[in-house]
Amino acid sequence: MTHDEHDSKHFNPEKVFAGLFILTMLEVLWGYAFGVWLVAPGQHGNRLVLWGGLLFFAFFKGWLIAVYFMHLKFEGWVVKSLVLPTPFLIMVIFGYVMPDVADKETRLKYPVGSEVNPATGEVIVDMHDGWHPPGHGGEHAGKTPAAEPAAEKH
């Protein structure tokens, strides 16, 4: 391996950081230009141009990070080909998740953290009053149903 080939496998992280910094500044300016400055008061502006530009800058910054900091530029074709199915797998995950999150009428019928009492089937919203399995803490921990009536007689 010659000295030139060895140097071609290295990069200058300061240059990549400077590029990311410049792209971030351009992204912020783009957001202000098409979200605030070029929009008349009470108007929303051209959302397609705003979001299209912001997504372009975000994609380009992500590409810089993946290529240089994740060293994909210096990898062979096998590693690069493993990245190709990623968008497809993301679409599959969205396809499986969308039926759960797209139905706005029945989504979050009960607050997050609610629990179903296995004995009665009742939904417990306030977990302080919730069902506690025997031997796992709670106000009834360590008590058995047979011991409770005996304690009431005395």
Domain annotation covers residue 58? yes
Indicate whether 120 belongs to any domain: no
Distance of CA 93 to the CA centre of its chain: 13
- H or E stretch including 147? helix 147-153
Rounded Cα distance, 148 and 140, in Å: 10
**Number of independent structural domains in the chain:** 1
**Residue 79 covered by a domain:** yes
Q: In the prediction, which pLDDT does 30 show?
A: 92
Its domain, for residue 13, covers 3-84
Residue 69 lies in a domain: yes
Residue 43 lies in a domain: yes
Sign of CA dihedral 22, 25, 27, 33: negative
Residue 115 forms part of a structural domain? no
b vs e for 94-122, b when ≥16 Cβ sit within 10 Å of the residue's Cβ? eeeeeeeeeeeeeeeeeeeeeeeeeeeee
Give a yes or no: residue 103 inside a domain: no
CB-count exposure of residue 34 (10 Å: 0-12, 13-18, 19+)? buried
pLDDT at 147: 46
Rg value, the chain, Cα: 29
Question: What does the pLDDT read at residue 128?
Answer: 65
Please list the pLDDT of the chain residue by residue as tens digits (154 residues).
Answer: 555 555 556 778 898 899 999 999 999 999 888 877 776 666 666 778 888 899 999 999 998 988 888 777 777 777 778 778 888 999 999 888 877 666 666 666 666 667 787 888 888 776 665 556 666 665 544 444 444 454 555 4
Give the rounded distance of the alpha carbon of 152 from its chain centre. 53
In a domain, 15, yes or no: yes
pTM of the model: 0.47
